[in-house]
Amino acid sequence: MNRQQLLDLYFLEARSKLIDLAAFLDRIDQAEGEADFRLAAFLRALDTVHAAGGGRAERVLLCLSDSSREPAPVAPGNAACGAWPGETQS
């Protein structure tokens, strides 16, 4: 498909998601209290979307991933939350 066709197919859906994302950040801004590492990771990932070149989805996923290599001594009791508090690769 060419760019025009892809825009015809996906623009409204992407536009809706973009507004949702902006509204989410507004909601966070307007709320009280401290944010945790998830917001910082989210904003770092958002920055990678602006970067030139393809592979944006992969870069976002890497930004939100645990990039360590060794198995954890024990499984953390909590479920995965979608972001990692350590230094991630991008």
Q: Which residues bind another protein (CB under 8 A)?
A: 1, 9-10, 55, 57-58, 61-62, 64-69, 71-76, 79-84
In angstroms, give the least distance from the CB of 32 to another protein.
26
Rg (CA), the chain: 16
In angstroms, give the least distance from the CB of 54 to another protein.
9
Cα–Cα distance measured from residue 90 to residue 71, given in angstroms and rounded to the nearest whole number: 21
In angstroms, give the least distance from the CB of 30 to another protein.
24
Q: Which of 66, 27, 21 is nearest to 42 (CA)?
A: 21
Q: Residue 52 or 80: which CB sits closer to another protein?
A: 80
Half-sphere exposure in the Cβ direction for 76 (13 Å, CA):
7
